[in-house]
Amino acid sequence: MSQVFDKKLFQNRLSTRWLGRDFEYLKKVDSTNSYLKKIPAEELNHGFVVLADDQEKGRGQHQKDWVTKPGENLTFTLALKPDRAEGLTLLTLSCALAVANVLQNYSRRPFLLKWPNDIYVDHKKIGGVLTECSFLGPKPEKVLIGIGVNINQEEFNVGSVQQAVSLHQITGEKFKREEILANILNRIEQLYQSWVNREITVHKEISRALIGFGDWIRLSIDNEVIEGRYKFLGVNEKGELLVLNEKLELNTYSHEQIRIITGSESISKVR
Ligand code: BTN
């Protein structure tokens, strides 16, 4: 059932220094990312967060739509102004990791990251991240990190390639979205600081949470499966994929169209 977002409850749970202290709640918008894109960078504070109960044109990666029921999930965007452009992929993955870490407090099922930007549980997608940046020369002017997390929705359309799932569906419980949002922002602020400090724990933790980490996998680029099998070593400090080929040579990939094919999927894709 659709619930109006309780801003006071959210603010009481928030323990960040700067992330989400400047917060806007919208009942309805086209997309929280599109909304922030239209605001000039100089009018946006670092750490500003906008959340909408209903997105009429929610957007996902690769021009896909992000469609969820109003008032049942979390759909929000952070505006960040980091000093460097290097490692933005790692920053996106850090936000996905923060979501996975927080959801892990509500269920014992393992919440994992699917390269490049998804959060999965039980082979189903529970959340995703869409990062969009504008640059002033080499420096990012604003980095918009849009996050969608399925919380209380009871059913999703079947038949999409990535079957969606909500926290409610895997636990049988209903959750306060305000509490989960505050917990996610608390964790993102910690990980952001570690990212700024270039702490190696960031890419190590992300690597450990990635589906297929340590396994022999196959890779595809632009939907074409690449010859051979690769040992998946996770990501480096830039967020690039690290793999060993069958001759045990180290390869790195940053191409955003690259996909990791694991388990039974890897067998069916090469037939
Ligand atoms: C993906 O998995 O493809 C990324 C999904 C990102 C969805 C979020 S919901 C809030 C923000 N606004 C959007 O229009 N998209 C992102």
Nearest residue (CA) to ligand 1, atom 15? 59
Please, which pLDDT band fits residue 265 given cuts at 50, 70 and 90? low
Please give the number of the atom of ligand 1 that sits closest to the Cα of 66. Answer: 7
Instruction: Give the closest residue to 68 by CA, choosing from 136, 169, 145.
Output: 169
User: According to the model, what pLDDT value does residue 24 have?
Assistant: 98
Q: How far apart (Å, rounded) are the C-alpha atoms in residues 269 and 271?
A: 6
Is residue 31 predicted with pLDDT exceeding 60? yes
User: According to the model, what pLDDT value does residue 218 have?
Assistant: 96
**Side chain identity at residue 49, one-letter code:** V
Nearest residue (CA) to ligand 1, atom 16? 146
Element (H, E) at 187: helix 177-196
Please, which pLDDT band fits residue 159 given cuts at 50, 70 and 90? low
**Longest CA–CA separation in the chain, Å:** 57
Share of the chain above pLDDT 90, in %: 85
Sign of CA dihedral 118, 120, 125, 126: negative
Q: Which of residues 105 and 268 earns the better pLDDT score?
A: 105
How many Å lie between the centroid of ligand 1 and the Cα of residue 244? 32
- Copy the structure tokens of residue 178: 């305000």
Is residue 147 predicted with pLDDT exceeding 90? yes
Please give the number of the atom of ligand 1 that sits closest to the Cα of 148. Answer: 9
How many Å lie between the centroid of ligand 1 and the Cα of residue 118? 10
Is residue 116 predicted with pLDDT exceeding 80? yes
In the structure, which protein residues have their CB atom closer than 6 angstroms to any atom of ligand 1? 31-33, 55, 58-61, 64, 66, 75-77, 117-118, 128-130, 146-148
Pairing state between β 23-29 and 48-55: parallel
Q: Which of 51, 59, 153, 184 to mutate to test the pocket of ligand 1 (most atoms within 8 A of CB)?
A: 59
Please, which pLDDT band fits residue 270 given cuts at 50, 70 and 90? very low
Residue 24 φ then ψ, to 5°:
-125, 130
Q: Which of 26, 53, 75, 126 to mutate to test the pocket of ligand 1 (most atoms within 8 A of CB)?
A: 75
Helices 88-103 and 200-209: angle between axes, nearest 10 degrees: 60
How many Å lie between the centroid of ligand 1 and the Cα of residue 214? 29
Contacts of 260 (CB under 8 A, 6+ apart): 114, 115, 211, 212, 217, 218, 219, 232, 241
The stretch 100-116 carries a mean pLDDT of 96
- Tell me how many degrees the CA angle 182-183-187 measures, rounded to the nearest 5: 115
User: What pTM was estimated for this model as a whole?
Assistant: 0.94
Please give the number of the atom of ligand 1 that sits closest to the Cα of 128. Answer: 2
User: According to the model, what pLDDT value does residue 2 have?
Assistant: 79
Q: pLDDT, tens digit, for every residue of 217-243?
A: 999 988 899 999 999 999 999 999 999
How many Å lie between the centroid of ligand 1 and the Cα of residue 6? 22
Identify the three-state secondary structure at position 257: coil
Please give the number of the atom of ligand 1 that sits closest to the Cα of 117. Answer: 2
Q: Which of residues 157 and 131 earns the better pLDDT score?
A: 131
